Amino acid sequence: MNRGRLITFEGPEGAGKSTQAAMLISKLEARGIEVIYTREPGGTKLGEAIRGILQYNAAGEDPCAESEVLLFEASRAQLVRNVIQPALERGAWVLCDRFADSTTAYQGFGRGFSVELMETINRFAIGRAVPDMTILLDVNVSLGMQRCAKRQVGKKIQYDRIESEALEFHEKVRQGYLELARRFPERFRKVDAMRHAEPIAEDIWKLVSDAFLSQG
Ligand code: Z5A
């Protein structure tokens, strides 16, 4: 049995990661491919509990910046061992909405922790689950925020803990992602996400099908 593919979606908030993952899933499933969709933080019972702590202070106090890193990594380690690695081993494809590069972008470039340290902790958490392709949906911060604001209209919780960070923080995150895409061109595919969803989905399909489905 061939190992499946791990495709991760990254980008600033409101980039359209969940929307594009859903569109890619339908195309892959139409080809008879088993696809598992998951997200970070979360994707397991432990991970979803950590998500509540990280986003909405479910533990009753703010995690300090160091705890924040380790909580993201704990959620990731659990997701890899319990969901991603077993799926890849049985030949399924896994589409993950955010993965290790989010820690490098948000906690490294955004919060200012050493990028090398974030990458080292990421390697510990992900083990062999290195993404085959990382789709970076690039959107400018104001457009991403406008999209999220539209979605939040009428909802009780407005913004979560990380979404509420200052604009400069989100700008550092965006620039961090662009830097990662330059550093790891073999894995990253940058897609202009400041367009309608359909042409973005077409570009992603071309990238994915050219890379993984065109042989034979
Ligand atoms: N975080 C971290 O700091 N470190 C880590 O290691 C990890 C995460 C793993 C998770 O939040 C937060 O945790 C995140 C990073 C941090 N915080 N921030 N900021 P989340 O999972 O709740 O949210 P998110 O990952 O940021 O995703 P999102 O904001 O939900 O956005 P999205 O998935 O990229 O977009 P979407 O849901 O597909 O679309 C958003 C809205 O825009 C929606 O109404 C769509 O209908 C609309 N949309 C989508 N595409 C388009 C286009 N092309 N045009 C117009 N409108 C569109």
Atom of ligand 1 nearest to the CA of 100: 6
Q: How far is the CA of 145 from the centre of ligand 1 (A)?
A: 9
Does pTM top 0.75 for this prediction?
yes
Q: Which CATH number fits domain 6-213: 3.30.1360.10, 3.40.50.300, 3.40.140.10, 3.30.1330.10?
A: 3.40.50.300
Amino acid 57: pLDDT: 84
Core vs surface per residue 104-142: b (16+ CB within 10 A) or e: bbbbbbbbebebeebeebbeebbeebebbbbbbbbbbbe
The pLDDT tens digits of the residues spanning 8-22 come to 999 999 999 999 999
The pLDDT tens digits of the residues spanning 37-58 come to 999 999 999 999 999 999 888 8
Atom of ligand 1 nearest to the CA of 9: 34
DSSP 145-213: HHHHHHHHTT-S----TTTTS-HHHHHHHHHHHHHHHHH-TTTEEEEE-SS-HHHHHHHHHHHHHHHHT
Domain extents in the chain: 6-213
- Say if ligand 1 is within 6 A of residue 104 CB: no
Q: How far is the CA of 214 from the centre of ligand 1 (A)?
A: 30
Q: How far is the CA of 26 from the centre of ligand 1 (A)?
A: 20
- Say if ligand 1 is within 6 A of residue 43 CB: no
Mean pLDDT within 79-99: 98
